[in-house]
Amino acid sequence: MAKNYGVAVLLAAALCLVGAVYCHDQERLVVEGPVFCDTCRVDFMTPLSYDLKDAKVKLECRNRTTNVVTLTMETKTDESGWYKIEVDSDHEEELCEVSLVESGDPKCGELLKGMVHKARISLTNRNGITQAARFAGSLSYATKESHANCAKVLLEMGVLPPDFYN
80 binds ligand NAG (CB under 6 A): no
Task: Say which residues have a Cβ less than 8 Å from residue 20's Cβ, sequence separation at least 6.
Answer: none
Using Cβ positions, the residue closest to ligand NAG within the complex turns out to be 63
Q: Is 122 near ligand NAG (CB under 6 A)?
A: no
Contact status: 63 vs ligand NAG (CB under 6 A)? yes
Which position among 94, 100, 119, 153 is part of the footprint of ligand NAG (CB under 6 A)? 94
Q: Which stretch binds ligand NAG (CB under 6 A): 38-46, 61-69, 113-121, 122-130?
A: 61-69
Mind giving me the DSSP string for the chain?
-HHHHHHHHHHHHHHHHTT-S-HHHHTEEEEEEEEEEETTSSSS--TT-EE-TT-EEEEEEE-TTT--EEEEEEEE--TTSEEEEEEEGGGTTSEEEEEEEE-S-TTS-B--TTS--EEEE----GGG----EEEPPPEEEE-SS--TTHHHHHHHHT---TTTT-
Among 78, 93, 156, 163, interactor with ligand NAG by CB under 6 A: 93
65 binds ligand NAG (CB under 6 A): yes
CB of 94 to ligand NAG, least distance (A): 5
Contacts of 42 (CB under 8 A, 6+ apart): 150, 154, 159, 161, 162
**Residue 66 binds to ligand NAG (criterion: CB under 6 A):** yes
Query: Between residues 92 and 105, which has the closer beta carbon with respect to ligand NAG?
Result: 92
> Nearest approach, Cβ of 122 to ligand NAG (angstroms)?
13
In angstroms, give the least distance from the CB of 68 to ligand NAG. 7
Give the residues lining the site for ligand NAG (CB under 6 A): 63, 65-66, 93-94
